Amino acid sequence: MTLLLLFNITNGLIVGAFYVLMALGLSLILNLSNVINFAHGGFLVIGGYIAYAISPYVGFWGALLLAPPLTALIGLAVERVLIRPLYGRDPLYSLLLTFGLAFMIEDGTRFIFGPQGKPVAIPPFLAQPLSNDLFFITGYRLFMVAMVIVAIALLFVLLRYTRLGIRIRAGTLDLETVAALGINVRMLRSLNFAVGIFLAGLSGVLAAGQLGLEPTMGTGLLMPSFIAIIVGGIGSLPGTLAGGLLIGVASGVTAVFFPAASEAVIYMMMAVVLLARPRGLFGEEGMMS
């Protein structure tokens, strides 16, 4: 029982780490550009399939290094061509557009790569379990968690200490003032979008090594990421971080006792949070309205 619980908590943490990566990207874009990026899961899929396509030539490490920036470049192009014309219009439109884009990405990958992809080969030393008792803790799983932690740490360093990051945070609070200071808001939004997509691409590569690839895999992560943002508090990146881990672990633990409810529990958490604390765990007053 203890082992099972531990197994599921570990699973929950790993799943939670994916939620966090996805949700942080979504949150960045939502906070600065007021765009709910429905295609975020699609970009995860793109990241995964890029890794799948290039790993025979550049190996796992090469794919890990190259796929996220390539995904971000695609994201940048999408932002320039499709999303930029929609800033300043009703947020409904960007929502619908990314919704359609998600359809196209899912169907497009299915068309190009077939309904099921094979997992990206991971280095053998990472595939081994660390011990026989704790068979579920493989080197790769630890590596994934480590990568997620590094990515999050880098993101927070970026936001806190670089000029771009400081501008992004300022723009999130008050875009008009930032624009009045002569900062190029369009550029800021593009770069911010690219950073968000980079995170989605990274999740895609990491997932490709663990779960194998499916064109629909991004869609499954999208809803929990939304909930991570709502639970953590819209507008707060630390909140998103906490929200993602919380719902990951909660669904992992529920899987032990009541497997059928392991997904429902995250929705229940959202309802409880919204009832008890409408702005979310870390949300600031006024951000939600």
> Interface with another protein by CB under 8 A: which residues?
30, 34-36, 38, 82, 85-86, 89-97, 99-104, 106-108, 111, 223, 226-227, 229-230, 234, 260-261, 263-264, 267-268, 270-271, 274-275, 278, 288-289
Residue 128 CB, shortest distance to another protein, in Å, is 36
Cβ proximity to another protein: between 3 and 268 the closer is 268
Cβ proximity to another protein: between 90 and 163 the closer is 90
Cβ proximity to another protein: between 209 and 215 the closer is 215
Cβ proximity to another protein: between 213 and 270 the closer is 270
Q: Give the separation between CA 166 and CA 188, rounded to whole angstroms.
A: 11
- Token digits of residue 29: 């874009």
Residue 140 CB, shortest distance to another protein, in Å, is 30
Phi, psi at 121, each rounded to 5°: -65, 130
Q: 181: exposed, middle or buried (C-beta count within 10 Å: 0-12, 13-18, 19+)?
A: exposed
Residue 240 CB, shortest distance to another protein, in Å, is 13
- Which residues on neighbouring strands pair with residue 129, listed in sequence order? 138
Residue 275 CB, shortest distance to another protein, in Å, is 7
Distances (CA, A) of 152 to 18, 113, 147, 199, 241: 11, 31, 9, 9, 9
Residue 49 CB, shortest distance to another protein, in Å, is 16
Residue 82 CB, shortest distance to another protein, in Å, is 7
SS3 3: helix
Cβ proximity to another protein: between 106 and 214 the closer is 106
Cβ proximity to another protein: between 1 and 271 the closer is 271
SS3 1: coil
SS3 125: helix
Cβ proximity to another protein: between 103 and 136 the closer is 103
Please calculate the CA angle 36-40-46 and round it to the nearest 5 degrees.
Answer: 160
Q: Give the separation between CA 13 and CA 6, rounded to whole angstroms.
A: 10
Angle between the N-to-C axes of helices 185-211 and 2-33, in degrees from 0 to 180, rounded to the nearest 10 = 160
Residue 229 CB, shortest distance to another protein, in Å, is 7
Q: 272: exposed, middle or buried (C-beta count within 10 Å: 0-12, 13-18, 19+)?
A: exposed
